[in-house]
Structure 1
Amino acid sequence: MTARFSRAAEAVLRDAGWTPGRDVSTATAEAIRRTEQRVGAGGARLRSFAAAVAALNEFGGLAVVPKEPGVDHVPQPFAFDPLLAPVCAETLADVATVLGVPLYPLGVEGDLAALLAIDERGRVFSIDYTGEWFLGATTDAAIETLVTGRRPPRLRDDGTWPDPAGTDEPPGRSAR
């Protein structure tokens, strides 16, 4: 076990094919190229950035199936593959406007029920038909949230979210 992940998170990541130092940069480059070729309504397109590339280089192609019952809810399977995400440029642009930073698709959660997205600061979000959710300040933290079934805070209309520690101070937004 590494000190990087909880025992439960590391176990399901390893079951999915992850190992420390994993690098699928060739496959990531192709997935990003194909994702960026998609054109949304009105001509909207996605552009990758360093945080998205880094996350996909390590976790791209993994389909993770949590095994534990979950702390707050039953965790759903999730996959790191931007090509599984529906054409989502408009949705991500709308959320990015509220957050003040660009977003890029990382993959999906559940039975394609939610879009996993990362911002250029490395923060990860889940976007579904009910709203937008802050999963973690890093990909590792987001994986822990997804695997453990902890309820993530919902984004407010101003792009902030309640601090999971309970102080109701948002953990921060990027400067615009």
Structure 2
Amino acid sequence: MDALMARFSQQTEHDLRAAGWEPGRRVDTTAWRNQLEATGEVHMHAAAEGFLGEFGGLKVKISGPGVSSAREPFEFNPWDLHGEEGRFAGWGARLGKSLFPIGELDGGRFFLGISELGEILLVETWVATFGIGDAALENLILGVKPDELA
């Protein structure tokens, strides 16, 4: 078994590849940084830059039953969250985390953010966590209900 196979489950790797991801993928995050940091409310920390550098721009088109909730489509496109910086700053302050917008879940019904520790969070009028790093991607793709934080 190679290192890539150990990183993601077969289903997660399949769905990420279908969205355009491949090992070693890199995209420029400068435009997202400039746009979202312009308000002064959010800061693209290293975890956000690393995550978006690998997964930014992907649109994962999934549906159907999941492990503990529906498999919902999501997109890692911070452009769509311009104007929501205050929501991320406010929740970040309340939770004691630095949150940076990374995309949307279920066609914009929910927002997605990432903490400085690589934790992927659902952000709405409440906040829930999908977990940290690759485990969070697994949970998003496999339909694992996030744990509500506030």
TM-score norm. by structure 2 comes to 0.90
Give aligned-pair identity as a percent. 35
For 2:143, the equivalent position in structure 1 comes to 149
The letter of the residue matching 2:34 is R
Correspondence for 2:16 among 13, 16, 27: 13
Secondary structure at the counterpart of residue 135 of structure 1: strand
Residue aligning to 1:36: 37
Gapped runs of 5+ residues in structure 2?
Answer: none
Q: 2:132 aligns with which of 134, 137, 140?
A: 137
What letter is aligned with 2:7?
R
Q: Distance in 1 between matches of 2:127 and 2:63?
A: 24
Alignment partner, residue 75 of structure 2:
79
- Distance across 2 between alignment mates of 1:62 and 1:117: 15
Unaligned stretches of 5+ in structure 1?
157-176
Segments ≥4 residues shifted beyond 3 Å = none
Given that 2:128 and 2:149 are in contact with CA atoms closer than 8 Å, whether structure 1 keeps it comes out as yes
Larger of the two Rg values belongs to structure: 1
Instruction: Give the SS at the match of 2:122.
Output: strand
CA distance in 2, matches of 1:49, 1:152: 23
**Equivalent residue number for residue 113 of structure 1:** 109
Q: How many residues align?
A: 147
Higher RCO (CA < 8 A, seq sep 6+): 2
1:91 maps onto 2:94 in alignment? no
Q: Which residue does the alignment assign to 1:3?
A: 6
Mapped partners of 1:49, 1:73: distance in 2: 30
The one-character-per-residue Cα deviations of 1:119-173 (angstroms, maximum 9, x if unpaired) are 11111100124x21111122x11111111111111004xxxxxxxxxxxxxxxxx
Query: Please, what TM-score do these two structures have when normalized by structure 1?
Result: 0.78
Partner of 1:3, secondary structure, is helix
